[in-house]
Amino acid sequence: MGYMTVEEHSDSLLHLTRSPGIRSWSLLVGIASVGLAAAYYSSDSILWKLSTLTGCVFVAMQNMEDWEEAVFDKTKNLIELKSFSLYTLVLTLWRKGHEKVVLDLAQLCDVCVQERKVRYLEGYLLMLRLAAGFSYPLTQSATLGGRSDVEALAALLKRFLGLEELQQHRRQEDETEYGEDEDEDSLDISRDSEDEVVDL
């Protein structure tokens, strides 16, 4: 899959990973090459050349996507979302750059594809909808163009977690409760009409 790669898939565990794509590496090489050429052909001092090259490398790293990882563990009943940013890691001198978010798997009620603008282009990512009422993105960066890849991953997650069966069960419960409410309302109306007839 283009959006995320399936590293491990069993009955109780689904492990997904995402690495920077060709676009990120192309930008890194392109911008770094511009800085290298500017430093090589410049008549400035060595210090200024190093500053130019370092600045271009930092801009290139800033435009790179993160390394991301998602683990759905039915045994622990947890969702672990991890990300690794090369730019943040270098900028903070290896003190930061790793982020981790842990969610309750039992709270996950649906997954859906959401559109997001990425530098004036259409991108897509997967949103995790929780019973608490908020949504969380599966990845921090969207994939450009490939909606079908994101939809395929959404279908895989629904099958793995049995979300379609859960949603169908909830709909049946709602319909049952709604039907019982209608029956109670109809009984109340009939009783009221009988009382009116008795009064007459």
In the prediction, which pLDDT does 174 show?
A: 65
Q: Residue 71: which region, alpha, beta or left (left: phi > 0; alpha: psi -120 to 50)? A: beta
Instruction: Give dist(CA 20, CA 68) in Å, integer.
Output: 9
CA dist., res. 10 & res. 14, Å (int): 6
Residues 6 or more apart whose Cβ sits within 8 Å of residue 156: 6, 14
Query: How far apart, in whole angstroms, are the C-alpha atoms of residue 92 and residue 155?
Result: 38
Tell me, what's the pLDDT at 134? 87
Closest by Cα among 63, 56, 48 to 32? 56
Q: CA 43, CA 191: separation in Å to the nearest integer?
A: 98
Cα 60 to Cα 144: distance, rounded to the nearest angstrom: 19
Enter the pTM of the model. Answer: 0.75
**Residue 197's pLDDT is what?**
47
- Look at the block and give the residue holding tokens 């943040």: 88
Task: Return the pLDDT at 44.
Answer: 82
pLDDT in tens, the chain (200 residues): 468 899 999 999 999 999 888 888 888 889 889 888 888 888 888 888 888 888 888 888 888 888 999 999 999 999 999 998 888 888 777 777 788 999 999 899 899 999 887 766 778 889 999 988 889 999 988 887 678 889 999 999 999 988 877 767 767 766 676 655 555 555 555 555 555 544 55
